[in-house]
Amino acid sequence: MATTMTHNGTLVEVRGLKKYFPITQGIIIQRKVDDVKAVDGLDFSIQRGETLGLVGESGCGKSTTGRTILQLYRPTEGEVFFEGKDLARLKGEELRRMRRHMQMIFQDPYASLNPRMTVGDIIGEPLEVHNIAKGKEKKEQVQELLQVVGLNPYFVNRYPHEFSGGQRQRIGIARALAVRPDFIVCDEPISALDVSIQAQIINLLEELQEKFHLTYLFIAHDLSVVRHISDRIAVMYLGKIVELTDRTALYQNPLHPYTKALLSAIPIPDPIIEEKRERIILTGDVPSPVHPPSGCRFHTRCPLAIDICKRVDPEFREVGAQHWVACHVV
Amino acid sequence: MTRTQFIIRRVLWIIPVLFSVALITFIVMHATPGGPWDVDPNKADRRISDQLDKTFGLNKPLFFNPEAFQQAQKEGRGVIESGQAFIDAQFENYIFSLLRGDLGPSYRYRGRSVSDVIFGVQDDKPAWQSKIGTTATLGILALLFALAFGIPMGIISALKQNTAVDYASLFVVTIGYGIPSFVMGILLIIVFAVWLGVINVIEIDYWQRWQSWFLPTIVLGLPTAAFAARLTRASMLDVMRSDYIRTARAKGLGERVVVLRHMLRNALIPVVTFAGPALAGLVTGSFIIENQFGVAGIGDLFVRSVSRRDYTVIMALTLFYALLIALANLAVDIIYGFLDPRIQMGKKEG
C-alpha cells in the first residue's frame, strides 16, 4: 500500500515551472498581444515509487503541467529535473532518448491511438525507435505486454476501433509500458471511461506500479479516485499549486480554503450523512488565466479573503510536516 | 452486405446512370436546330441530304415509330414484328447498336466509324497518339503535376501554419484556383512563347517534343494542384492536432517519423480518394485547354463535333465521360475500404 512504500530519493523535481501560451494578432506580421498563463510557477518534487495526485477544476493547468514536465510542451520558464538532468535544456536526439524513461497515458482512449495502425504497431513502435527489440522479439514483447495489461495477446493484428473504451485504455497503458519507463504521467486516464471500467483501470495501474516500480503523476478531477491511488496530493488553482501534502493530511486536515471547498463537494455514499454534509459553495467563475487576479489568485472567490490577499501573492510555505500551503490566512 | 455484393450493386447502378445520360444527351442534341449535313447551307443539296438521312436512318422518328407499326399491322405481321417496327426509331436503334458494341459511323469524318475516330491511330503512330490517348496523356500529366506540386505545398503550409510560408502558398493556391484556365493559358503563352521565347507555339511535329506538354499540363493541372494543396493542408491540420500525434511524440519518435508515418498516412486519405475523380475531371475537363493549345484530343474533338452536329461522336464522347466519372467514383468507394481499416462496407460496428 502506498503509505508503507519506501521512498528512495527524488525522481522528478520541478522548479519555477511556467508555461505561457501566446495570444497573437495580425495576419502576416504577428504581434504577441498577451499570454494565457496556463502554468504559472510550480515547485514540487516526486519521489521514486510514489504517486503524486494532481487535482483541480477544468482549465486550471493540470494537463499542461503533465505535458510540460514531459516536454511535450516546452516550458516558458523553469526547470524540470529528471534523475538530476534538466529536461528543459535537452533538445533533439538527447531528449528523444530520455523519452524512454518517461511516458504518458492519455485521457481519451478513442483519440490517442492512431486509427490506421494495428495494436501490434502501436505498442511495438516505441520498442523499435528506442532499439529495444525488433522483428520476432518485438512481436513477443508486444504480446507479453498485452497479457500484462489483461488483453488477449491474439489481438496484435487488430485495429483500435475494434476495442471498447476500457480495452483501448489498456492498449494505451501497454504502449506506455513498452519502453519500461520509470515515470508515467497519467493524464485523467479514467475520466473517459464508465464507472465500472474505471475501477479496473485503477487496479491495473496499481498492480503495474508494484510490479514495475513505477512513479506516477496522476492527474484527475475525481477526488475520491485521487484519494484512493495517491500518496501525496497537489491541489491546483489557476496555474498554481495552492496546497500539497500527503493524502491523509489533505483529506482530514485541509488548510487552504479552496481545498476545503473542493473536498466539501465530494458526495458521501450514505444518505444520512450525506444529508448533513455541509457544502462550501464557491461563488463566481474561475477568472481568466490571461489576466489572473492580483495578489492571491483565489481572493475573488475566497470566503476568507482579507485585504492583503488582493495585493500580495502568498508564498508557498511549509506549515506542517510536509504540508505546503499558499495562503495568507492559514 | 459483403464487399463483393456492394461492388456488384454499385457496378450495376452504372447502367441506369448511363442510360439516363444517353437519353438526356439525345433529347438535347436533337432539340438543337440543324443537322450534320447543313452546316454549310450553300453546299447542302436537298436531295443529297435526304439521301444521307435515309442511309444513316436519320429520317426515322426519334423515339417511336407509329407509322411503321401501323404499316406492319396492315401487312398482318405478328405481335413481335409489329413491336419491333414500333421501336424502329433513332434512339432505340442507337442503343441497340451500342449494346452490340457498335458506336456507329461518324457523320463528318467521311468513311470512318466513331470508334476509329476516337481510338484509331493514323500511320503507325503509337497508341497514345490517338485522340483518346492524347487526352489521357495530358490528363495523367496534369494529375501528376497537381499531386507532386499540391501535396508538398499543403504539407509545408500545415507544418508552418500561419507563417509567411503558409500565406505565400495560400496566395499561390488562391491564384491557381481563382484564375480561369483560359486566362491562365493565354497568359502563359504570352509569357513563355512571346516574351521569353522559350517555347515555340508553331512547329512541325509539335506534340512529339516533350517540352510542348509543359504549358498545357500546368494550365490544366493548376486548379487541381490548388485543390490538392488546400485539401492536404486542412487534413494535415486536423491530424496534427489529434491526440495520437501527441502519443507518437511521447513515444520518443523523431519528427520525421511523426510527420511521415503518423501524420501523412492519416492525412492523405482524403487526397488519395480525391485523385480518382480528379483524373476523371481532368480528362473530361480539357475542352478549353485542348482548343487553346491545339491538342488533338477528345476535348477538341467534342467541341468540333458539337458545332458540326456529328451526332454519333457527341453521343459516344458524352457516354465515355459519364462512364469515366461513374467509374472514378466507384473506385473511390472501393479504395476507401482498403485505405481506412475502420471502414468496412456494410459491417456494423460492435
CATH code of B175's domain = 1.10.3720.10
pLDDT band at A216 (very low <50, low <70, confident <90, very high): very high
Q: For A97, name the nearest residue in chain B, comparing CA atoms only.
A: B252
Query: Count of CB atoms within 10 A of residue A261's CB?
Result: 18
- Chain B hits for A125, Cβ within 8 Å: 248, 251, 253
Q: Which residue has the higher pLDDT, B73 or A193?
A: A193
Q: Residue B211 pLDDT > 70, yes or no?
A: no
* Cα B71 to Cα B86: distance, rounded to the nearest angstrom: 10
Q: What is the pLDDT of residue A234?
A: 92
Query: Count of CB atoms within 10 A of residue B122's CB?
Result: 8
B341 and A116 Cβ atoms separated by less than 8 Å: yes
Residue ending a domain, among B119, B137, B165, is: B119
Same domain, B97 and B194: no
CB nearest A112 (choices: B162, B244, B254): B244
Specify if A305 maps to a domain. Answer: yes
pLDDT band at A54 (very low <50, low <70, confident <90, very high): very high
DSSP summary character for residue B210: G
DSSP letters, B57-102, are: TTTS-SS--HHHHHHHHHTT--HHHHHHHHT-SHHHHHHHHHHTT-
Same domain, B107 and B179: no
Domain that holds residue B139: 127-230+274-348
Looking at the DSSP bridge assignments, the partners of residue A36 are: A21
Q: Do A27 and B167 touch (CB under 8 A)?
A: yes
Question: Residues of B numbered 116-175 whose beta carbons fall under 8 angstroms of chain A's beta carbons: which are they?
Answer: 162, 164, 167
- Chain B hits for A126, Cβ within 8 Å: 251-253
Question: Residues of B numbered 232-271 whose beta carbons fall under 8 angstroms of chain A's beta carbons: which are they?
Answer: 242-244, 246-254, 257, 262, 265-266
Specify if B254 maps to a domain. Answer: no
Interface predicted TM-score (ipTM) over 0.95 = no
The torsion angles phi and psi of A236, rounded to 5 degrees, stand at -110, 145
Same domain, B97 and B155: no
In chain A, what percentage of residues exceed pLDDT 90? Answer: 8
Specify if A322 maps to a domain. Answer: yes
DSSP letters, A64-110, are: HHHHHHTTSS--SEEEEEETTEEGGG--HHHHHHHGGGEEEE-S-TT
In the block, residue with C-alpha cell 478531477: A221
Whether the CB of B342 is below 8 Å from some CB of chain A: the reply is yes
DSSP letters, A266-325, are: S--S-HHHHHHPPP-PPPSPPPPSSSPPSSSTTTTT-TT--HHHHHSPPP-EEEETTEEE
Q: Give the lowest-confidence range in A285-294, B101-110, B200-209, B326-335.
A: B200-209
Q: Residue A143 pLDDT > 80, yes or no?
A: yes
Closest CA to A325 of A219, A222, A234, A224: A234
Q: Which residue has the higher pLDDT, B199 or B318?
A: B318
- Chain B hits for A114, Cβ within 8 Å: 244, 247-248, 262, 266
Specify if A264 maps to a domain. Answer: yes
pLDDT band at A183 (very low <50, low <70, confident <90, very high): very high
CB nearest B251 (choices: A27, A116, A129): A129
Looking at the DSSP bridge assignments, the partners of residue A235 are: A55, A243
Q: Do B251 and A125 touch (CB under 8 A)?
A: yes
As for how many domains chain A has, the answer is: 1
Residue ending a domain, among B83, B101, B119, is: B119
Q: Which residue has the higher pLDDT, B275 or B121?
A: B275
Same domain, B140 and B198: yes
Specify if A196 maps to a domain. Answer: no
Specify if A325 maps to a domain. Answer: yes
Q: What is the pLDDT of residue B43?
A: 62
Q: What is the pLDDT of residues A237-268, one digit of tens each?
A: 888 899 999 888 888 888 888 888 888 888 77
Specify if A150 maps to a domain. Answer: no
Q: For B338, name the nearest residue in chain A, comparing CA atoms only.
A: A116
Specify if B200 maps to a domain. Answer: yes
Specify if B264 maps to a domain. Answer: no
C-alpha cell at B83: 413491336
Read off the pLDDT of each residue in B212-240 and give the average, rounded to a whole number.
86
B223 and B181 Cβ atoms separated by less than 8 Å: yes
In the block, residue with C-alpha cell 520476432: A136
Q: Residue B350 pLDDT > 60, yes or no?
A: no
Residue ending a domain, among B119, B154, B183, is: B119
Q: Do A103 and B250 touch (CB under 8 A)?
A: yes
Same domain, B77 and B209: no
Q: For A91, name the nearest residue in chain B, comparing CA atoms only.
A: B254
Q: Residue B155 pLDDT > 60, yes or no?
A: yes
Same domain, B279 and B319: yes
Same domain, B140 and B61: no
The residues of A whose Cβ lies within 8 A of any Cβ of B are 27-28, 30, 67, 70, 72, 96-100, 103-104, 106-108, 111-116, 125-126, 129-130, 159, 161, 172, 175, 179
Whether the CB of B31 is below 8 Å from some CB of chain A: the reply is no
Q: What is the pLDDT of residue A185?
A: 92
Q: For B251, name the nearest residue in chain A, comparing CA atoms only.
A: A126
C-alpha cell at A123: 505498442
Q: Do B252 and A175 touch (CB under 8 A)?
A: no
Specify if B341 maps to a domain. Answer: yes
Specify if A158 maps to a domain. Answer: no
Q: Which residue has the higher pLDDT, B280 or A26?
A: B280
Specify if B255 maps to a domain. Answer: no
Q: What is the pLDDT of residue A218?
A: 92
Same domain, B143 and B282: yes
Q: Which residue has the higher pLDDT, A270 or B343?
A: A270
Read off the pLDDT of each residue in B102-127 and give the average, rounded to a whole number.
74
Domain that holds residue A264: 255-330
Q: Residue B72 pLDDT > 80, yes or no?
A: no
Closest CA to A205 of A193, A224, A194, A190: A190
Q: What is the pLDDT of residue B333?
A: 77
Read off the pLDDT of each residue in A184-205 and give the average, rounded to a whole number.
86
Q: What is the pLDDT of residue B90?
A: 80
pTM across the whole model: 0.69
* Cα B301 to Cα B287: distance, rounded to the nearest angstrom: 9
Q: What is the pLDDT of residue B347?
A: 46
C-alpha cell at B168: 505565400
Same domain, B137 and B81: no
Range among A266-270, B58-62, B82-86, B317-321 rated most confident: B317-321
Task: Determine the residue among B167, B247, B253, B260 to mutate to test chain A binding: the one whose Cβ has the most chain A Cβ atoms within 10 Å.
Answer: B247
Residue A318 to chain B, least CA–CA distance (Å): 34
Q: Residue B24 pLDDT > 50, yes or no?
A: yes
Same domain, B47 and B81: yes
Read off the pLDDT of each residue in A108-124 and give the average, rounded to a whole number.
87
Same domain, B304 and B193: yes
Q: Residue A314 pLDDT > 50, yes or no?
A: yes
CA B17 to chain centre: 16
Q: Residue B61 pLDDT > 80, yes or no?
A: no
Q: How many CB pairs under 8 A join A and B?
A: 73
CB nearest B164 (choices: A28, A104, A125): A28
Read off the pLDDT of each residue in A104-113 and give the average, rounded to a whole number.
87
In chain B, what percentage of residues exceed pLDDT 90? Answer: 1
Q: What is the pLDDT of residue B345?
A: 47
Specify if B258 maps to a domain. Answer: no
- Chain A hits for B249, Cβ within 8 Å: 72
Range among A13-17, B7-11, B257-261 rated most confident: A13-17
Closest CA to A21 of A91, A74, A88: A74
DSSP summary character for residue A328: S
CB nearest B242 (choices: A100, A107, A111): A111
The residues, any chain, with a CB within 8 Å of residue A110's CB and separated by 6 or more, are: A160, A165, A168, A192
Q: What is the pLDDT of residue B348?
A: 42
Average pLDDT, chain A: 85
CB nearest A111 (choices: B244, B265, B340): B244
Same domain, B61 and B77: yes
DSSP letters, B333-350, are: HHHHHHH-TT--TTPPP-
As for how many domains chain B has, the answer is: 2
C-alpha cell at A302: 475566497
Task: Determine the residue among A116, A131, A132, A145 to mutate to test chain B binding: the one whose Cβ has the most chain B Cβ atoms within 10 Å.
Answer: A116
pLDDT band at A271 (very low <50, low <70, confident <90, very high): confident
Q: Residue B53 pLDDT > 80, yes or no?
A: no
